Chain A
Amino acid sequence: MEAFPVPERRRFINWFLGTTFGALTLSVLYPLVRFVSPPHIPEPSTAQIDAGAADDPAFREKGFKIVRFGADPVIVVRAAENDFRAFSATCTHLDCIVGFQKERNRIWCNCHGGAYDLTGRNVAGPPPRPLTPFKVNLVPKNGGASTIVVSKA
């Protein structure tokens, strides 16, 4: 008896066609999967931005404003006169953009009712983590209100 029996012709052809078909399927699937995966596009990194003047009417009216930090939104809140705080405006719950409730003095996300205090700590609702803080510096300007400069903490 042979250690490796000679395969029947049908069995041989089935293997041959099966592997060929498998290879064809893979050679279509691989480019397909790569194609639908969006390529990573490097974004210019941002170290600090100019968030406008400290006497921006937005602070008087609503107590906050959202500024662009590179491609990401950052919320700048006026906690008190000359006391500005900045956090990532992206809610840690499900990616919504948070706002500020002046009358209740808290950062609030309308999507699912997440609340953060003015240190960015998640205090109520579903958010799992605090908001990422940013550093705020007030740069005095000759003959006008200071400029708010937001930078990575």
Chain B
Amino acid sequence: MSAILQWLDDRAGWSALREFLSHKTVPMHRYSVFYYLGGMTLFFFLVQVCTGVLLMLYYRPSADEAFESIEFLVTTVPFGWLVRSIHAWSANLMVFFAFLHLLSVYFLRSYRAPRELTWVIGVLVFFLVLAFGFSGYLLPWNQLSFFATKVGTDIAGVVPVVGEWILRFLRGGDRVSGATLSRFYGWHVAILPAITTVLLLAHLLLVQLKGMSVPASVEEESRRRPPMKFFPHFALRDLSGWIFALGVLAALAAMMPWELGEKADPFTPAYANIRPEWYYVFMFQTLKLVPGGEVLGIEYEAIPILLFGLAGLLLLLVPFLNRGRGRGWTIAGILGLAFVIVMTCWGYGTLIPLYIVFLTALLLALFAFITRAPEAR
């Protein structure tokens, strides 16, 4: 065995990697729990890759066959329902953890020099994750996905000047049809994964090169406490979290299998209480509140859409805009987050989103307690 490893090492030189890993450490302070969020997002991404590849074995991307092929998958293929449900649940959890990861980095200002590029690439990956969600949503070709795509692509069409072109580019024509499905499938299984893989590798590489950021407020604490070795201590906690997440996924998929709904029909009205996925609900609710009308040749509904676009741009560029020590960006972030939470609650007409926020904070606190470093002697 050791002879084989030696042979491989002589040719691939992977002992350098092991050497690097053995020296890698993670700073310890009261916010250390947030270092696990990126890894958790990565886990759900890997689950998406594996289950996505499996789904491709049975999925047929055409308006005539897409819905039927998934119906076949969940009713006839052994464990087809399980694979599909895990894919759907993991997608949602991936968005959720990517968002948490982004929030923690934003509020701890870990994007400060020299990590601006890590942040920019990370935000781009986050947008790609949302694009994955949007394109994957259409693929079952059910009523919900059909209307979500009509509305979502129509929103792009509201953008002044280039909107019309974007709309036709997204739909592969003037209306949402089989051509749109082919396009979205191509995006979902080839183009987006290719771009995401490259950006994700760059993101992970930069994290390794620059190490973990220590928030300014806990620099003193971090100097006092010895750092945790990545291997085995941090990796063990990472893996435990992943196994726990796998258990949660299996439980969710088994107890709350993802619904398939009814096949898309362009000639039936949208059903009552139709709503996009939860991570788009705040935008959906905002758009519902905007009345029809026009000012200076721009439709009212274009205004919030452009503002959301601007917010996305600011988020991307925040390391370059926020160089001072002021609290302005933190306050803006809290207001933005409050807006998202309030609008989501309003959109659902319930306080459950707020409870989920509290529950998440509680879980993070619990995980922080479980994964804490042993007290230094």
Most buried by A among B54, B79, B82, B243: B79
Tell me if A31 is interfacial: C-beta within 8 Å of chain B: yes
Query: Contact string, B29-63, partner A, CB cutoff 8 A, digits 1/0?
Result: 00000000000000000000000001001000000
Total interface residues in chain A, CB < 8 Å:
10
Known: A35-B82, A36-B54, A37-B78; 7 extra A-B contacts, CB below 8 A, are: A24-B243, A31-B83, A32-B54, A32-B79, A34-B79, A35-B77, A38-B77
Docked Cα-Cα span, A34 to B80, in Å, equals: 9
Total interface residues in chain B, CB < 8 Å:
10
Q: Which residues of A contact B78 (CB under 8 A)?
A: 31, 34-35, 37, 39
B250 to A, closest residue via Cβ: A27
Flag if A41 contacts B76 (CB, 8 Å): yes
A-B contact pairs, 25 of them (CB 8 A): A24-B243, A31-B78, A31-B79, A31-B82, A31-B83, A32-B54, A32-B79, A34-B78, A34-B79, A35-B54, A35-B57, A35-B77, A35-B78, A35-B79, A35-B80, A35-B82, A35-B83, A36-B54, A36-B57, A37-B78, A38-B77, A39-B76, A39-B77, A39-B78, A41-B76
Among residues 62 to 98 in chain B, which have CB atoms less than 8 Å away from a CB atom of chain A? 76-80, 82-83
Query: Contact string, A28-47, partner B, CB cutoff 8 A, digits 1/0?
Result: 00011011111101000000
Listed in ascending order, the chain A residues whose CB lies under 8 Å from chain B are: 24, 31-32, 34-39, 41
Docked Cα-Cα span, A41 to B78, in Å, equals: 13
Q: Is the interface of A mostly helix, strand, loop or mixed?
A: helix
CB distance from A99 to the nearest CB of B (A): 30
Among residues 273 to 331 in chain B, which have CB atoms less than 8 Å away from a CB atom of chain A? none
Q: Which residues of A contact B82 (CB under 8 A)?
A: 31, 35
Q: Which residues of A contact B80 (CB under 8 A)?
A: 35
A40 to B, closest residue via Cβ: B76
B75 to A, closest residue via Cβ: A39
CB distance from B138 to the nearest CB of A (A): 23
CB distance from B80 to the nearest CB of A (A): 7
B50 to A, closest residue via Cβ: A32
Q: Ordered nearest first, which 3 A-B pairs have the shortest CB separation?
A: A34-B78, A31-B79, A35-B79
Docked Cα-Cα span, A37 to B80, in Å, equals: 11
Docked Cα-Cα span, A38 to B80, in Å, equals: 11
CB distance from A48 to the nearest CB of B (A): 29
Q: Which residues of A contact B79 (CB under 8 A)?
A: 31-32, 34-35
Docked Cα-Cα span, A100 to B52, in Å, equals: 45
